Structure 1
Amino acid sequence: MASLYERLGKADGIRRVVDDIVANHLANPIVKPRFENVKDLNHLKKTAFEFICVGSGGPEAYTGKDMRSTHQGMNISEQEYLAVMDDILAALDKNGMGDDVKSDVLTILYSLKGEIIRV
């Protein structure tokens, strides 16, 4: 079976998904204020791209902080976390990802929940 990285379309596919995720966040009233205030969206996209690549088995290196450090002090609510997950699933749908890919991504996202919510 192909790796999650391959099923996501490798670097090019992941880059498209990340662009759509960020666009979805900027259009989502629940999390829009957080993403409108990001000083460098290109850096956020770069580290999100790297994070997804590494987390899905790709060869790219991750240059960002760990999830807890990244989200420390942001007081992210369960509602915001679920809104972000919905945005990610919508981006995967838009890019034609199958249920197997969405299921694997959701599993990874849920495993990170404790590093993101109210840390």
Structure 2
Amino acid sequence: MERTLFERLGGREGISAIVDTTVNNHMENPAVNPRFLPLKDQPERLRIIKDHTIDFFSMGSGGPANYTGMDMVTAHTGMNISPGEYYHVMDDIMLALDSNGIDEESKKDVLAVLWSIKGMIVSK
């Protein structure tokens, strides 16, 4: 039986590490850090965003989770995220997957998920 993407990403613990690494990457990436650096002064809001992201990716990758956040269009409406910013975010996620030892096949699966939600996030 094939393992789910959730399992291949290390379950909730692995996804949590990937999200933490990704957020750190965003904070260091000058192309997107203006959107993320203010969250350093809002630790409660940052924790909520991370928890929603963990739940979203856990549920979307075949794991047990109860995502209670907004849908992607609602969550990103008014943010006017450019395609370039989205690509930088994708790069940061891929770097986080590398940093956390995720295999190539799983990285391809994550990339497919990211492409599938792009239209719900960019320029909303």
| TM-based fold match above 0.5 | yes
Query: Once superposed, what is the RMSD of the aligned Cα atoms?
Result: 0.8
Q: Distance in 2 between matches of 1:19 and 1:62?
A: 18
More helix by share: 2
Measured after TM superposition, the shift of residue 36 of structure 1 is 1.6
Q: Which runs of 4+ in 1 moved over 6 A?
A: none
User: Which residue is equivalent to 2:117?
Assistant: 112
Task: Select the residue among 80, 100, 108 that pairs with 1:75.
Answer: 80
Measured after TM superposition, the shift of residue 37 of structure 1 is 2.6
Secondary structure in 2 aligned to 1:118? coil
Task: Select the residue among 87, 94, 115 that pairs with 2:92.
Answer: 87
User: Which residue is equivalent to 2:37?
Assistant: 36
Gaps of 5+ in 1: none
Secondary structure in 2 aligned to 1:112? helix
Aligned-pair identity (%):
49
1:60 counterpart = 2:33: no
TM-score with structure 2 length normalisation? 0.93
Measured after TM superposition, the shift of residue 6 of structure 1 is 0.2
Gaps of 5+ in 2: none
